[in-house]
Amino acid sequence: MANIVVLDYGTSNLRSVAKALEYVSDTEHQITVSDKAGTILAADRVVFPGQGAVGQCMNSLKEKELDEVILECIKNKPFLGICLGLQSLMDHSDEDGGVDCLGIIPGQVRRFTNAGVDERGNLQKIPHMGWNQVWQSHKHPLWDGIKDGERFYFVHSYYVCPDNVEDIVAETDYITRFVSAVARDNIFATQFHPEKSQHAGLSLLKNFLTWKL
């Protein structure tokens, strides 16, 4: 039985992520929520979820010494980042007056500006909240069975700008065209919340559990 650890650094949506993983695991995986370095390092796969502000996230990771644990896990385990779990992988975020992140994937985190009006005349407010289409820019095992343009659930005011286009595997249109998923080697990370995205999100989580590097 494979052991999947959901990284706990004090965020509020851990249980919903864990429950979604349990639902798609078919009892073939042990799902654990933990902030213990030994438990995380011993996991077969790691999920890094999050919502809120990146400054608080990075402070909590450092206080718990989980930043170094993440850097170690990134080397050889299937790793899924969700929302802040994506943004924290970048070099730097503009949020909270400017915050240095983990620097795993080169790039910046920017805030949406100049809210506009969509093609139906609806005001595009900040934060971007609700369902939106995700356009796959590269093939990836985690997209298996998920159609291009499928809708996923978002809640965010900031978005990532990777330096390398090769790291981008999906984009979404809201105010601007922004990166909604990245992938590199054993890393896959999304701006949207698969645990809140019904069938499509559960399919992505299932794909993560069966992803062979």
6 vs 110: CA distance, rounded Å: 26
Q: Which of 73, 83, 128, 156 is catalytic?
A: 83
Q: What is the DSSP string of 79-113?
A: EEEETHHHHTTSSEESGGG-EE---SS-EEEEE--
User: Strand 107-111 relative to strand 99-100: parallel, antiparallel, unpaired?
Assistant: unpaired
Give yes or no: 83 in active site: yes
User: Which residue, among 101, 166, 200, has the nearest Cα to 192 in the 3D structure?
Assistant: 200
137 vs 172: CA distance, rounded Å: 10
Q: Which of 29, 128, 156, 193 is catalytic?
A: 193
User: Which residue, among 112, 85, 80, 65, has the nearest Cα to 5 in the 3D structure?
Assistant: 80
Give yes or no: 22 in active site: no
Give yes or no: 195 in active site: yes
Q: Which residues are the active-site residues? A: 83, 193, 195
